[in-house]
Amino acid sequence: MISRYAFGSMIETDAVLHKPPIRTDRFSKLSVNEASMSLSLHLHEKDVVYGLGENVRGINKRGWLYRSKTVDEPDHSETRNSLYAAHNFILIDTDEPFALFFDYAGIITFDIGFTHLDEMKISLSDWNFDLYLIEGGDKIELVRQFRKLIGKSYIPPKWAFGYGQSRWSYHDADEVRTVVRKHRDAKVPLDMVYLDIDYMDGYKDFTVNEAAFGDLSVFTAEMRRENIHLIPIIDAGIKQENGYRVYEEGLEKGYFCVKEDGSPFIAAVWPGKSVFADIMNPEARAWFGEQYRVLVDKGIEGFWNDMNEPSIFYTEDRLKSVFAEISEMQGENMGVERFWHFQSIVNGLTGNEEDYRCFYHRYKGELIRHDRVHNLFGYFLTRGASEALCGMMPDRRYLLISRTSSIGMHRYSGVWMGDNRSWWSHLLLNMQMLPSLNMIGFLYTGCDLGGLTCDVTEDLMLRWLAMGIFYPLMRNHSAINTRRQEFYEFDLTDAFRSIISLRYRLIPYLYSEYMKAALRDEMMFRPLAFDYPEDEHASTVEDQLMLGRELMIAPVYRQNADGRYVYLPEDMKLLRFRVDGSMEEEVLEKGHHYVKVPLTDVVFFLRRGKMLPLAEAAQHSGAVDFNKLSFIKFGDQNMTYELYDDDGCSVSACDEKHFRIIGD
Ligand code: MIG
């Protein structure tokens, strides 16, 4: 059952599709304190709090303070309170589990046992929001109810389940050709190459550096013949430059965010001084989306939307005041405190709160200050792109991922998990984001495998890929000035081939489970406690997940480990895929096990009474044959599997009728 309570009058977020009527009785599940603009709840020792989507820390969110404010935060460490997303959904697993969704565009703080271990306190920056209370049923059912409320998830084309290679940046067509040739020559499957900001002309959105890429339509077609999709990046900031069509057109139409005096708000990002589409104006975001046509006309069918928190490097106004302050400090005999302050002034330019308070959107005939709708920026901009792409490619699916998101955007695109580092701890962190993202409908997701920044090591790359084969979005991405991490940069190429090939063998399974989750409002990845609610230990497991109806995954995420402890909530069959192509099965009993996992193996677990379909290896997703499957089973009885298959590219194909039961 879903109840909706209204507090004040909210700014529309378009998170909820069909709003139930507002309840007129008092909301009493939490104690409400309007004076302090907060709600609080006592937590019992065994209660678990799930949710908050893409965030820092573990699956159980207890023990920290989280702030829903979208930020370009490259430091995903435990000390952070915010990352790229604002996902205001929590599920409290207590005697009778329930879930809460704060439909609110402003900034919320979730203190979940930070100030007081046994208290959760949720504070809002103003008192205008809708609160949804979801009750009745188990955790899986609560999520299903919520997902029905917010609408169906985005579905990418089948080829988006292939492997993608990315780098900031591949600078010209030849460099991309080399990447593709090296994969094909070594028989390492590949479906996508991502183009980072350097494909553009001077970081100007919807332009192409033709000196480096030639006519992009010709190059795109050449890549399609190789079964490769090129996926260019689109940044939120639009370069302020006379003669640049996109800038001039948007300016003339009044489609950019403005300062109080009505002049366009200008901030520096990658292209230098830039303007930002007014996402609260439906015409402006439709216009922004329409710009994608330039690339769609060149045969591009996939994009990644970056910098849309929106990220701001600096503004002219802030820069002026920083220079003024610093020049005043010149010659001063600085004590240590003053010195630290001095250091912080320059660092404080980027993502400065003050900047977000000094520009405006046009909303229902009024100017609304940006900070009140900050968390909607990337969502609405991506929505503009998605709606426009639907029009440009009728009945054709496209690949679209965004860095920032809030609830509702799952209907329009997927997300990648932002700028992680080549750290072992991030392998685990990015895995822990999966179930909480799934709860709120973000199914097409994954992280930068190998880590974006810092230098990866070969063992980390292999372990991360062994986890990454399960992410719907499987992309190897790394930043400028870091060690290159394409498979051919390392020694154990056979292991890379065998791990990535296994991904392709799993595509029929992953695609089927994805479509079940998308069409039936389910979670593809779940914490163990969702499937084993009676098992007390299951709720404490933070480094294993249930995947689909058949599997449990438990990646190795520690360096130099020769394996790991795995908890089995019931008897399961361990499946081990070796680098020599052999496969080993072993039945393990419910309980704790130390499982050896050599660096070149992939290990995961099959549930009793279930069977896993495996395709034959293929070099690209189009060659994966859904009609030529082998099965691994656990149990003696006759078994079936519900397979999904369709044309992989049309929108109308995404339908229940494409499920079929297979088995013996
Ligand atoms: O300020 O385009 O998350 O994937 O490689 C960094 C360069 C901008 C952030 C993205 C990352 C991308 C990078 N971008």
**Cβ atoms of residues 305 and 401 within 8 Å:** yes
In the predicted model, is pLDDT for residue 338 greater than 90? yes
User: How far apart (Å, rounded) are the C-alpha atoms in residues 66 and 69?
Assistant: 9
Question: How far is CA 557 from each of CA 10, 465, 560, 563, rounded to the nearest angstrom?
Answer: 43, 11, 9, 9
Residue 343 confidence (pLDDT) above 80: yes
- CA–CA dist 98, 142 (Å, integer): 7
pLDDT digits (tens, 9 = 90+) for 132-180: 999 999 999 999 999 999 999 999 999 999 999 999 999 999 999 999 9
Average pLDDT, the chain: 97
Distance CA 98, CA 110 (A): 16
Confidence of residue 316 (pLDDT cuts 50, 70, 90): very high
Q: Per residue in 576-630, pLDDT tens?
A: 999 999 999 999 999 999 999 999 999 999 999 999 999 999 999 999 999 999 9
Residue 127 banded pLDDT, cuts 50, 70, 90: very high
Where residue 286 falls (left for φ over 0; alpha for ψ -120 to 50; beta otherwise) is: alpha
**pLDDT band at residue 345, thresholds of 50, 70 and 90?**
very high
List pocket residues of ligand 1, CB cut-off 6 Å. 168, 196-197, 233, 306, 403, 418-419, 452, 477, 479
- Cα 7 → chain centroid: 30
pTM: 0.98
Best residue among 168, 304, 309 to mutate for probing ligand 1's pocket (most ligand atoms within 8 Å of CB) is: 168
607: closest CA among 635, 628, 630, 640? 635
**664 has pLDDT over 80:** no
8 Å CB contact between 460 and 485:
no
Mean pLDDT for 636-661 is: 96
- Looking at this protein, which amino acid is placed at residue 108? I
Mean pLDDT for the stretch of residues 407-436: 98
Ligand 1 mean position to 134 CA, how many Å? Answer: 37
DSSP E strand stretches across 531-578: 545-547, 551-553, 563-568, 572-577
Pocket residue to mutate for ligand 1, from 196, 234, 417, 480, most atoms within 8 A of Cβ: 196
- At 578 the pLDDT is 98
Q: pLDDT tens across 438-480, in order?
A: 999 999 999 999 999 999 999 999 999 999 999 999 999 999 9
Structure tokens belonging to residue 124: 């809002």
How many Å lie between the centroid of ligand 1 and the Cα of residue 418?
Answer: 8
Closest to 608 measured CA to CA, from 550, 548, 530, 567:
550
- Confidence band, pLDDT 50/70/90 cuts, at residue 269: very high
**Helix 377-392 with 282-290: angle, nearest 10 deg:** 50
Start-to-end CA span in the chain (Å): 39
Residue 461 sits at the vertex; the CA angle it makes with 51 and 492, to the nearest 5 degrees, is 150
Per-residue pLDDT, 275? 98
Compute the CA torsion angle 43, 46, 52, 56 (nearest 10 deg). Answer: 110
Q: Which of 136, 163, 126, 154 is nearest to 36 (CA)?
A: 126
Residue 334 has pLDDT above 80, yes or no: yes
Q: State percent of the chain over pLDDT 90.
A: 99
Residue with tokens 């109806």: 549
